[in-house]
Amino acid sequence: MRTLLSTVGFLFLLLLSHNGGLTGATDAEHSLRATDSHTHRHRRHHGHRRRENFEYSALSCRAYSASLDEFGAVGDGVTSNTAAFRDAVSQLSRFADHGGSLLFVPAGRWLTGSFNLTSHFTLFLHRDAVLLASQEESDYEVIEPLPSYGRGRDTDGGRFISLLFGSNRRENGTIDGQGEPWWGKFKRGELKYTRPYLIEIMHSNSIQISNLTFLNSPSWHIHPVYSSNIVIQGLTILAPVTVPNTDGINPDSCTNTRIEDCYIVSGDDCIAVKSGWDQYGINYGMPTKQLLIRRLTCISPDSAVIALGSEMSGGIEDVRAEDIVAINSESGIRYVIKNTPVWLCLVRLNRNKTCRIKTAVGRGGYVKDVYVRGMTMKTMKYVFWMTGSYGSHPDEHYDPKALPVIQNINYQDMVAENVTMPAQLAGITGDEFTGICISNVTITLSKKPKKVFWNCTDVSGYTSGVTPEPCQLLPEKQPGTVVPCNFPKSPLPIEEVKLQRCNTRRRHM
């Protein structure tokens, strides 16, 4: 099997650093981008290496650079380049404290097993470069579950190490997960461990992933976890809409994250915001907060454009989403919290929602201060979907008294066409979802809508300028006048982060 591997190596590095094997991961600046053949060329000429300089935008410029083919790599899609990647990263790691380094991957199809990346490092892909990761399970180390989850998602045991990390420029390099064999093993119940992700970034600061195409991950595509100051922009993520768990981008226990200008087609949530599972997430206590999502286009027939939960036991707060386009998706923003077997959860994903909140008794944690505006939706099963009865538990040791807090949820300036049911809003008896505001929303129903347009239980708040008429638990505020929701006026810190203009007219190895 071949798949792209840059995150796998990156995750391995971070784990080693966290355990003391390497240093600098928590303060590392990492980026992944691609360039085109007109701006970067490398070849040997009369016994000398010759490179043309190129420019790129990045959080941090690098002082040193090298090309993968300098280390004996062959981009024929057949030859294993694991040793070349490992040698390149090892050589470049010595520049971590001297301005950092950039590894350029030329055009070609580069097959590789897992390898470690390093601190203050950029993996730069040519627009015609495709990273292919081995599809053999033996090429993926089995590592421990995340401490905020307590077990793997697919199985009770560990998980296969993830795949890639790098950065891009104007035109896309490609990372192809070739996940079909993994999907088949998962469906047949043949996996002993949880499927690998394409990219997983742990315990890191200052991360950039930009202008890349990601295809067919075995499971989630991009998973930053326990990290901060993250910029994800200009990505195209494509997976079959019939394959579960192929989420696009899943920020998990992360602070100060910006996701923008992305196009995602997925068999699961386009973006799923998480922070740990039941007692493990509660004990780890690291929320996802200060998250900005803007200019996103999502196609997800069986799931949500943006999901909050269901693994949200560490808390989710201060999430802002704007300028979102949803096409043929199950729901818009989804909030979910429940206690059902995993197989049932997969069946229940067969609905399109724009935004959904997912949680459950035993989850604990909170989802609060969520602000969504400027959404355009076409062909939706639900526009709004919240549930307090979603998801499985990692084991029998969860606390059934750990109730989630859902409050201050705001939706404004939204238009939806061809909708089966405007809203399914179900809180938890004795644990009401509070402070819901829905303002200036127009929903046009499909030819065969549900008989009940709004189904609301255990929720409270108000609406203004919403059609069709909402449920009684969300009464209209000041009829005849559109009253806006209370959106914050100050920007998030990540909005102030600007990219630098960099070039390779510096030092080569």
Helix (H, G, I), strand (E, B) or coil at 49: strand
Alpha helices in 110-210 (DSSP H): 180-187
Among residues 403, 463, 453, which one has the least CA distance to residue 427? Answer: 403
Residue 188: CB atoms within 10 Å: 8
Residue with the two structure tokens 């040698």: 87
Kindly state the tokens that stand for 181: 């064999």
Say whether 374 sits in a helix, a strand or coil.
strand
Tokens of 255: 């602070």
27 labelled catalytic: no
Q: Token digits for 415?
A: 């238009």
Among the listed residues 247, 268, 302, 458, the single catalytic one is 268
Q: What is the DSSP string of 415-474?
A: EEEEEEEEEEEE-BTTB-EEEEEEEEEEEEE-SS--S-SEEEESEEEEEEEEES---TTS
Phi, psi of 158 (to 5 degrees): -75, -160
**How far does Cα 258 stand from its chain's mean position?**
11
How far is it, in rounded angstroms, from Cα 198 to Cα 187?
19
Active-site residue list: 268
